[in-house]
Structure 1
């Protein structure tokens, strides 16, 4: 996906990727689509975590 994804997130379906210094998106590794454009990494990570929780159920 991207250099921004770390090893512990490699098993997750939704991961955070940085587009620009203040622009992050949540990528779906299964469909290769991007969701939730955000301005901070923390908020993007929270969105990715929320999607991963929904996907796990």
Structure 2
């Protein structure tokens, strides 16, 4: 299960980066902000998984 969460975190980070880059390219501030938010969500999920891993060792 932890691997699935880590994978999901990476996917969210990647999707967010693409959305942010695309938003900047077309001048859409909302899309840029949504992309940043998705990246942050992925970052938080990854941090949570790292914390879990630290306690389960």
Flag whether TM exceeds 0.5 (same fold). Answer: no
Query: Larger radius of gyration, structure 1 or 2?
Result: 2
TM-score scaled by structure 1? Answer: 0.37
Q: Which has the higher helix share?
A: 2
